[in-house]
């Protein structure tokens, strides 16, 4: 496999101390074993090319952060291998760090009690960035992320949205070729999410920065990442284009009917009702061949229709379908 990031049958196993509930806890010394093994990443392989933007998605505990940590050199794979720009990240941590940027949504890289500017200065020195380059990058990032107004405020005084923008700016000051982001939009409001998404998409498209981001927010992926890697329980489930995911998991298209007056219950043979609010009714089409004409024909003239729309399944629906199917299989 070729690419600037390559994982070949990469696995990571953690030993977790076993917890003994209640009375059993008193006898825990007598019960063995004391540890259980958790395979956080289970033989994952992929290759990511320069300039790609890839969303890494999966439920809690699926192994996303563990994979990011192996690619950034923080963790060592238990088996298999990872290579980033031709290096083994954990063996050449400093050389790797010079060429990558890392943002952890849940953990700050900025100095809590110091002004944002001081953390940036630290980065300036650690990465030995030429003064002119540093000034140019800082100016560009301040403009794009709108952070000039709080550069001199201590980090602890910033809102989450402001802090996240500062974190992202800091990760890019040394011109990394690859940016890893672990849940960059977690906890942000709609406006801040939008700004972060637009920014990431822009530096990917215009500056060619390769992006790998983990998220629980499917809109992040829709707006930034044409390619999606989906994992569950440590294993790779899907790697491909977002559009392909929809067909693979057979999610259904959404039908919305808006009426001029309350239609009461609306029954259609080709669609399943999902929700209703006011005069609007939402359905999922049972068959991906059904056309709008067929729907309208079935409705007939009995309803006072105001508007109608038929949309591709949103990715939330795709993922929900997948998990429902998986749960059904497990139950069987």
Ligand X SMILES: Nc1ncnc2c1ncn2[C@@H]1O[C@H](COP(=O)(O)OP(=O)(O)OP(=O)(O)O)[C@@H](O)[C@H]1O
Binding site for ligand X (CB under 6 A): 14, 16, 38, 40, 58, 60-66
Query: Phi then psi for 74, rounded to 5 degrees?
Result: -75, -35
Interacting partner of 77 out of Mg ion, ligand X, none (Cβ under 5 to 8 A depending on kind): none
Give the nearest distance from C-beta 70 to ligand X in angstroms: 10
Give the nearest distance from C-beta 5 to Mg ion in angstroms: 18
Query: Phi then psi for 23, rounded to 5 degrees?
Result: -60, -35
Interacting partner of 61 out of Mg ion, ligand X, none (Cβ under 5 to 8 A depending on kind): ligand X
Q: Which residue is associated with the tokens 């999966």? A: 58
Closer to Mg ion by Cβ: residue 63 or 313: 63
Interacting partner of 58 out of Mg ion, ligand X, none (Cβ under 5 to 8 A depending on kind): ligand X
Residue of 55, 49, 96 whose CA lies nearest to 72:
96
- Other CB atoms closer than 10 Å to residue 310's CB: what's the count? 14
Give the nearest distance from C-beta 104 to ligand X in angstroms: 10
Give the nearest distance from C-beta 317 to ligand X in angstroms: 20
Q: Which residue is associated with the tokens 């982001």? A: 181
> Which single residue brings its beta carbon nearest to Mg ion?
65
Closer to ligand X by Cβ: residue 67 or 138: 67
Interacting partner of 62 out of ligand X, Mg ion, none (Cβ under 5 to 8 A depending on kind): ligand X
Closer to ligand X by Cβ: residue 54 or 62: 62
Alpha-carbon gap, residue 99 to 305, rounded angstroms: 57
Alpha-carbon separation of residue 26 from 17, 29, 186, 275, 319 (angstroms): 15, 8, 40, 51, 43
Q: DSSP secondary-structure letter at 24? A: G
Closer to ligand X by Cβ: residue 58 or 101: 58
Give the nearest distance from C-beta 174 to ligand X in angstroms: 25
Interacting partner of 204 out of ligand X, Mg ion, none (Cβ under 5 to 8 A depending on kind): none
Which region, judged by CB under 5 A, interacts with Mg ion, from 62-70, 78-86, 256-264, 275-283?
Answer: 62-70
Closer to ligand X by Cβ: residue 65 or 119: 65
Give the nearest distance from C-beta 71 to Mg ion in angstroms: 13
Instruction: Give the per-residue contact string, 63-92, with Mg ion (x = CB under 5 A; - = no).
Output: -xx---------------------------
Residue of 255, 246, 293, 295 whose CA lies nearest to 274:
255
Give the nearest distance from C-beta 84 to ligand X in angstroms: 18
Q: Which residue is associated with the tokens 């329980």? A: 233
Please, how many CA atoms are within 13 Å of residue 176, restricted to the half-sphere of its CB? 29
Taking the CA atoms of 145, 151, 157 and 163 in sequence, report the sign of the dihedral they define. positive
Q: How many residues does the chain have?
A: 332
- Other CB atoms closer than 10 Å to residue 328's CB: what's the count? 9
Closer to Mg ion by Cβ: residue 10 or 119: 10
Alpha-carbon gap, residue 144 to 248, rounded angstroms: 37
Residue of 97, 269, 119 whose CA lies nearest to 180:
97
Binding residues for Mg ion, rule: CB under 5 A, are 64-65
């Amino acid at each position: 496999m070729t690419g600037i990031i390559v994982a070949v049958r990469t696995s990571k196993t953690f030993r977790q101390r076993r917890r003994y509930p209640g009375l059993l806890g008193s006898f825990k010394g007598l019960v063995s074993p004391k540890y259980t093994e958790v395979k956080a990443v289970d033989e994952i392989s992929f290759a990511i090319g320069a300039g790609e933007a890839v969303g890494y998605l999966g439920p809690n505990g699926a192994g996303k952060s563990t994979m990011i940590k192996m690619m950034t050199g923080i963790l060592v794979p238990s088996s298999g291998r990872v290579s980033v720009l031709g290096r083994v990240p954990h063996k050449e941590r400093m050389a790797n760090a010079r060429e990558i940027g890392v943002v952890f949504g849940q953990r700050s890289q900025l100095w809590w009690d110091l002004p944002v500017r001081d953390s940036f200065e630290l980065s300036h020195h650690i990465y030995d960035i030429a003064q002119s380059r540093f000034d140019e990058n800082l100016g560009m990032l301040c403009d794009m992320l709108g952070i000039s107004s709080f550069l001199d405020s201590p980090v602890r005084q910033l809102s989450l949205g402001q802090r996240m923008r500062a974190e992202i700016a800091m990760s890019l000051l040394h011109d990394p070729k690859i940016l890893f982001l672990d849940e960059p939009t977690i906890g942000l409001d709609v406006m801040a999410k939008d700004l972060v998404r637009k920014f990431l998409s822009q530096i990917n498209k215009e500056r060619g920065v390769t992006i790998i981001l983990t998220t629980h927010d499917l809109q992040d992926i829709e707006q930034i990442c044409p390619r999606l890697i989906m994992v569950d329980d440590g294993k790779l489930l899907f790697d491909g284009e977002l559009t392909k995911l929809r067909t693979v998991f057979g999610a259904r298209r959404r039908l919305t009917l808006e009426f001029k007056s309350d239609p009461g219950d609306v029954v259609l043979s080709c669609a399943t009702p999902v929700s209703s609010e006011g005069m609007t009714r939402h359905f999922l089409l049972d068959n991906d061949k059904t056309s709008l004409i067929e729907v309208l024909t079935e409705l007939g003239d009995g309803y006072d229709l105001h508007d109608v729309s038929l949309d591709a399944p949103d990715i939330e629906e795709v993922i929900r379908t997948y998990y429902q199917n998986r749960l059904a299989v497990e139950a069987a």
